[in-house]
Structure 1
Amino acid sequence: MTRRNSCDHCPGSHSGERPCLASATAKARSWLLIEHPGPWPVRIEDLTDPAPIAEAVRAARAAGVRPQLIRRPGRRRGVPPVQVYAGYSSGDEVWLEGRELADPAELAGLDLRALAAGRRPGFGEPVGEPVLLVCTHGKRNACCARTGAPLARHLASRFGAFVWETTHVGGDRYAANLVCLPHALYYGDLGPEEATAAVEAYLNGEVRLERLRGRAGQPEPVQAAEHFLRAHCSIFDVDGVTVESVTGTSPYEAVARARGNRYRLIIESAVQADPCGSECSEKLGTYFVRDITLLNTAALV
């Protein structure tokens, strides 16, 4: 495994050794990606120029849609035209629409209420190819620029126009971060080899468990249950596991379905002591599976 240098303030990070299981952002289900080469403010809701993009970002947040500013790795084109993607990543029916805007003021015509509800707004053409986002938001966290920018260039050299740099995706401590849309699969603590393998798996309709943070839009215990059942059953198809329910607090009881079978999982949460080294005060949570039991239909009645 390729090893990366750690951040100066977080001695143990970016080594491939820190737990990133079940750490994808739990709230993002609807997405609005807007091309903007920068500069990017610390928080994109503080963007002021261009005004139409700034207004679209704030309107999206108010509607419950996750906005991301995107740009091409390396040499960047001036805008307009502005590439825009709208997408939904929850459940089995995921989708992306894309469109180039001659004038960013056209963003005002996007039906954000429909997008937030998971309905195609018809703002652009259906996109059949993945969109791969690498966080390079240096003003938000220096590690994202230092580890993310080289990773974005590497992936662009392999996967071309699928790859975009993006603003904060959540979980700076896991930089370099990759998000694979439309399924919103999060990977963290990536070097070139791990990222390439993750993208190749996604292009084949699969997930790769190594460095998988989880799927956005799901509560963390749900992400953990899906991960553990995939590992237990060696199921890597993107839609191969469905978590039907999670109840209780740690230990959680989850019921999940895979290959026509149902399973009960007992999962506990824990806090990692000194996850980044003794100089880091931040404590990170992680999950452990205590039991996986195959259930039959009668047992669920």
Structure 2
Amino acid sequence: MASLDKDLAPVLDKDGVRLTVDEALATVTLTNPAKRNAQSPALWRALAEVGRTLPGSVRVVVLRAEGKSFSAGLDRQMFTPEGIEGEPTFVDLARRDDAELDATIAAYQEAFTWWRRSDIVSIAAVQGHAIGAGFQLALACDLRVVADDVQFAMLETSLGIVPDLTGTHPLVSLVGYGRALEICVTGRFVQAEEAVQTGLANLAVPADQLDDAARDLASAVLAPPRDAVIETKALVRGAQERTYDDQRAAERSAQSRRLRDLAGIGE
């Protein structure tokens, strides 16, 4: 099966991340299968750069990974005393003052924040292990298609740290507080059947059909007019934070904009 970015010239290809663009569809591929697409600050900087690099024509972004694992989490070298060359070690980070440490973590989080912006729909195609930072990267996307061999786990707590790469908010939104807390503090694995049953994944398919399933979902998202998708995404994203009456009002405002736009009448 051909990958989503086959034969396309990369817009960006660095530090284990490749971006290709085919008109309205962008594909972001993690490209270090030898290390199970382990994550590092360099990879996070590359992912943040992808978000800044996306052409305005892009409506859907598919996130995928080469190899048997989507991402096995943090590069284990980050846990060693010497760390990764050119990057601060955990001890270095701990010695920074509050403002500097906060700014460093915020910079790391930038790799995980842009996937939910209003003008795109992001789809994670996840196979094999999606551990820790890998789980949180999949959670950063709007939608998730998983292979039947997927294994999600949040192992940060078992290492004495917390999930800090933006994963806790979407996890609670998807599966509820009790299950999210249990997943995070026990570090247990969540497999494909449970992921679909709990809403963590939209659908599960055999591993050799994962790219095709992601492509089909991307095509379905691209079918409606872009502005209608943008307005609908904003309505759905904000529904949990709004009261029922506020959501009704938001629907009315969005529909008024759509009707006037379709009629060619400016506000």
Quickly name the TM-score band, shorter chain normalised: under 0.3
> Which structure's residues are more often strand, by fraction?
1
> Which structure's residues are more often helix, by fraction?
2
Which structure would you say has the larger RCO, counting Cα contacts within 8 Å and 6 or more residues apart? 1
- TM-score where L is the length of structure 1: 0.25
- TM-score where L is the length of structure 2: 0.27
